[in-house]
């Protein structure tokens, strides 16, 4: 599965456009991490727990998007975009979408 965020795949020709596929997930870290993060807000610096949370969410959203693309017989997803929202405090919502295509 080729995933790009440009509209073409260099060196390959798109033979079929299959429409939009997407993947979303909402994840949270346990309360201990939330409390640690609120302490970290005093001193500044990277909130490792939340970085990890975003990374996990992003991977899961991409994975689900790819799963949808595979289900409709695509072998690449182009023009992928990420979008986030804030549904609940302390939770990350990641949403990935792109156009599923078949390349030769």
Minimum distance, C-beta of residue 3 to other proteins, in the bound complex (Å): 13
Binding site for other proteins (CB under 8 A): 7, 14-31, 33-35, 38, 60, 64, 67-68, 71-73, 78-79, 81, 83-91, 93, 95, 97-99
Minimum distance, C-beta of residue 97 to other proteins, in the bound complex (Å): 6
Report which secondary-structure segment, H or E, holds 51: helix 48-71
Minimum distance, C-beta of residue 45 to other proteins, in the bound complex (Å): 18
Q: Which two tokens stand for residue 42?
A: 């005093």
Pairing between strand 91-103 and 14-28? antiparallel
Residues 6+ apart with CB under 8 A from 86: 93
Q: Which is nearer to other proteins, 46 or 93 (CB)?
A: 93
């Amino acid at each position: 599965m080729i995933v790009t965020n440009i509209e073409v795949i260099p060196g390959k020709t798109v033979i079929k456009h299959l429409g939009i596929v997407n993947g979303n997930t909402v994840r949270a870290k346990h309360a201990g991490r939330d409390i640690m993060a609120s302490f970290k807000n005093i001193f500044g610096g990277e909130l490792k727990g939340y970085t990890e949370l975003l990374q996990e969410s992003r991977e899961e959203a991409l994975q689900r998007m790819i799963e949808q693309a595979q289900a409709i017989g695509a072998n690449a997803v182009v023009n992928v975009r990420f979008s986030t929202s804030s549904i609940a405090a302390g939770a990350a919502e990641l949403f990935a979408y792109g156009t599923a295509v078949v390349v030769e």
